[in-house]
Amino acid sequence: MSAIQFLSSPPWVEHLGWMLLHFLWQGVLIAAVYAATRKWIARSAGPNVRYVLACAALAGMAAAPVITWSLMNPTAAVSIAVSVPHVANTPTSAPAVATPALLSSVPRALPEPLLPWVVAIWFAGALVFWFRLLSGWIRAVRLRSRLVRRAPPEWQQALDRLKTRIRVSRPVRLLVSSLVQAPAVVGWIRPVVLVPVGALTGLPPEQIEALLLHELAHIRRHDYLVNVLQSVVETLLFYHPAVWWVSSHLRTERELCCDDVAVSVSGDVLTYARALAELESSRRIHFGAAMAATGGSLAHRIARLLGQPRPASRTLSGPGVIAAAMLLAITAFTVFGQPVARPKFEVASIKPSQEPGPMTVRPLPGRLTANATVKLLMQNAYTVHLFQILGGPDWINSERYEIEAKAAGNISRDQMFLMLESLLADRFQLKIHRETRDLPVYTLVAARSGLKLPPPKDGGCVSLVPDGTVPPEVVRGRMTPPGPGQPPLSPCGGFRTRLENTGARMRGGQITMPEFARELSIVLARTVIDKTGFTGLFDLQLDFLPDETTPALPAPPPGAPLDSSSPSILTAIQEQLGLRLESAKGPVEVIIVDHIERPSAN
């Protein structure tokens, strides 16, 4: 089984896919609120307040997908994702592809088969960023032990004295490293301050102490832990630009906060600014998991400390990032957009039915009538075959219900069957989820003797109303009972199955091979995959005897004068049409009934 087939099977994949897509607009909303608040407090708030605000925004972004996951039920995505119409144009045909009417009347939705790809792409990206993050952690940890030596005792004592002044109680070691070119902190529980070789002797002592105060401020504020959590959020939500924008603010404000602590404790702005200027001229080595005095823009930080205008930034501005994120969210919603709510009938009457005869589901202008089992209603509502509906109590296969439902205006059949979904959910409390299972299927191929498909002839079928507003009666899983005279012509592109004295007879005109495969799927209660390569039209006449291979068709009535020489459907397809059905296994989408109740009173 391929990775995509594996991801297509469990319901959590669809759940995760919709959660990732929902965060596109959620991230934009949080970033917009953050930007507005930041601008509002810009003049009065210092870096500490802005830092807390950025932390809150990033925490909100991290919490949004978790809350979405907890609020979404397993069928939420199924109930709002629409990619195919809910009834075919012929009396006995199975689900077809999406029609322009549906796509124009309902916002486009992400086809469910693409959700595993969304999850797979996210997994791939997250793995890359996890590897990047893990590599940074490993390099940072190795900094504690590779090419390091203890600092001279007088400087360790100076660090301990500075710890007391800045109120850091944990033990902190001071090491001289050949791998760093600016002071840095590594570790949270047992922090270590690393200084570059030559710094303790090449810079004035007061400048070294000012830089050490900056690093001790990181330790006092637990910035190393916050940086790790921040990196985890970036890794999981890497695909949203607003996350990176807020995260960059967080890192910048963190350095400004530590600058203020270092200046307030040392009491000498110029000395600290000169120390930063010396670092600006040094070559930087960046380790994502280490807290370094070179974080953020040193030029900006020095200008801020000296009260001078900040140099122009080369990074993308906040409005630019939000605009880019909004464009991403709007584009995603256009492609993957979902209807806000399923359409519903204005009035609907449901009552048990004891009416004998064929079951019917009739979408008529402005209303829908039905006399059918719940399973047949689900087949029409969700555009699946009966064998694709699994689970649920036995009564959904046996008890019939008479439905009279009225819609506002003269809506299309596609919208009518969307309303039927809502009716099943509201009145029957139906809850479902979709899965893809590896099930037995048939592949339809050409027989060795070659195809025997008669070309269409004039007058062999009846054309339907082009707009489909007055559709024919939809009868699923039933054969037309025998009767006197010639059977009526089938609609063009479709066909009927009629019970004759000799068995069952399929008749139709201007049939396509995919349509024939879909009809066979209904009759055989197994998915039929067309692999004939035939692209033309043909007239259909197929005579066969119903048996155990056609579970969707009722057996002939007792005493019927059957012709025992009539072939089975598998033999008839090969002898009469030059086609062959081969057994195989393949992925089949099924609907699982999680919960259903008998309908509430009218």
Band of residue 596 on the pLDDT scale cut at 50, 70, 90: very high
Question: d(Cα 367, Cα 62) in Å, to the nearest integer?
Answer: 46
**DSSP labels for 310-370?**
PPPP-SPPHHHHHHHHHHHHHHHHHHH---SS----SEEEEEEE---S--EEEEETTEEEE
CA geometry: angle 295, 299, 302, nearest 5 deg: 90
- Which of the two residues, 316 and 525, has the higher pLDDT score? 525
Band of residue 11 on the pLDDT scale cut at 50, 70, 90: low
**Is residue 571 over pLDDT 80?**
yes
What is the pLDDT at residue 594? 92
**Is residue 472 over pLDDT 60?**
no
Percent of residues, the chain, with pLDDT higher than 70: 74
Does an H or E element contain 283, and which? none
| 34 in Cβ contact with 246 (< 8 Å) | yes
Band of residue 280 on the pLDDT scale cut at 50, 70, 90: low
Q: What is the mean pLDDT of residues 140-159?
A: 85
pLDDT single digits (tens) 64-90? 999 988 886 443 333 333 333 333 333
CA atoms within 13 A on the CB side of 519: 26
The mean of the pLDDT values for the chain is 77
Q: Read off the DSSP letter of residue 561.
A: -
pLDDT single digits (tens) 300-352? 777 777 776 655 444 445 555 555 655 565 555 544 554 445 788 989 999 99
Does an H or E element contain 30, and which? helix 11-40
What is the pLDDT at residue 562? 61
Q: What is the mean pLDDT of residues 404-423?
A: 86
Q: What is the mean pLDDT of residues 39-50?
A: 86
| Mean pLDDT comparison of 132-146, 187-201, 382-396, highest-scoring range | 382-396
